[in-house]
Amino acid sequence: MIKLADVSITLGDFSLKNVHLEIRKGEFFTILGPTGTGKTVILELIAGLYRPDAGKVLINGADSENIPPEKREIGFVYQDYALFPHLNVYKNIAFGPRLRKMPPSAIKENVQGLADMLEITHLLARFPGTLSGGEQQRVSLARALIMKPKILLMDEPLSALDPNTKRMLCGELKRVHEKYRCTVVHVTHDFNEAAMLADRIGVILKGKVKQVGVPREVFERPRDQEVKNFLGVEPLKAVYAR
């Protein structure tokens, strides 16, 4: 579904070097790495916000350079939620479908369905500035899902939340994925989150893909000392998704 073939890009002092990743249709793929290793840059390459200096980003076999970003059917959930502050929750969620000129009755039905599922119906008239982090995250998830993306990119969606809310939303993300079966590329530096959610994990260190595998494999058999040093710093509390 998504293939980064030997992708390199230099941004200022940072470079991603010969990144090779294949993400399968319908899988929950987690990019795991410490801060500043290029995780967000990888998502932005997939979303078409950057073009690689070398190599190709393929989506369903087609070179993504030839698909305009708005036609890629990609949803993006940002770490800082990026909601429109001057629009209430309903209008935030309805924003994309309105741009696409979906009939208002269909928009209403879709917003209500998602609000029900994510338990934010009581928040629809509120403005983002009055919401907690967990509530904002649910809204930004609804805003992405309403476009029925084939690919959902999530950049550290849970990192700003307290441990309990995090655990709850983690379960929710899993259910959303099971229901929609879209291909998810999820970025995190949290080992527990990666272990709990991912079908497969890609460990990125210093702009390089170091290891790809199911969580158990990655955590129990790190490929080399560098991966081991990164993963071995704290004991894992999570139950592996796979």
Residues within the interface to Mg ion (CB under 5 A): 40
CB of 153 to ligand ATP, least distance (A): 12
Distance separating alpha carbons of residues 25 and 184, to the nearest angstrom: 9
| String marking each residue 3-32 x if it binds ligand ATP according to CB under 6 A | --------xx-x------------------
- Identify what 137 binds: Mg ion, ligand ATP, none; CB under 5 to 8 Å per kind: none
Cα–Cα distance for residue pair 88/128, rounded to 1 Å: 7
Instruction: Name, in order, each residue with C-beta under 8 angstroms of 92's C-beta and a sequence gap of 6 or more.
Output: 83, 84, 128, 139, 143
In the bound state with Mg ion, the residue whose beta carbon lies nearer, of 60 and 159, is 159
**Residues 217, 205 contacting (CB under 8 angstroms):** no
**Plot region of 24 (φ>0 → left; ψ -120 to 50 → alpha; else → beta):** beta
Q: Which residue number is nearest to ligand ATP in terms of Cβ?
A: 12
Asked if 41 touches ligand ATP (CB under 6 A), the answer is: yes
Strands (E), the chain: 2-11, 14-23, 28-32, 54-59, 62-63, 74-77, 151-155, 183-188, 200-205, 208-213
Q: If binding means CB under 6 A, how many residues of this protein chain bind ligand ATP?
A: 12
Closest contact distance (angstroms) between CB of 65 and ligand ATP is: 19
Stretch that binds ligand ATP, among 33-41, 120-128, 134-142, 146-154 (CB under 6 A): 33-41
**38 interacts with ligand ATP by CB under 6 A:** yes
Comparing CA positions, the residue from 81, 96, 175, 161 lying closest to residue 128 is 81
* 78 or 127: CB nearest ligand ATP: 78
Binding residues vs ligand ATP (CB under 6 A): 11-12, 14, 33, 35-41, 189
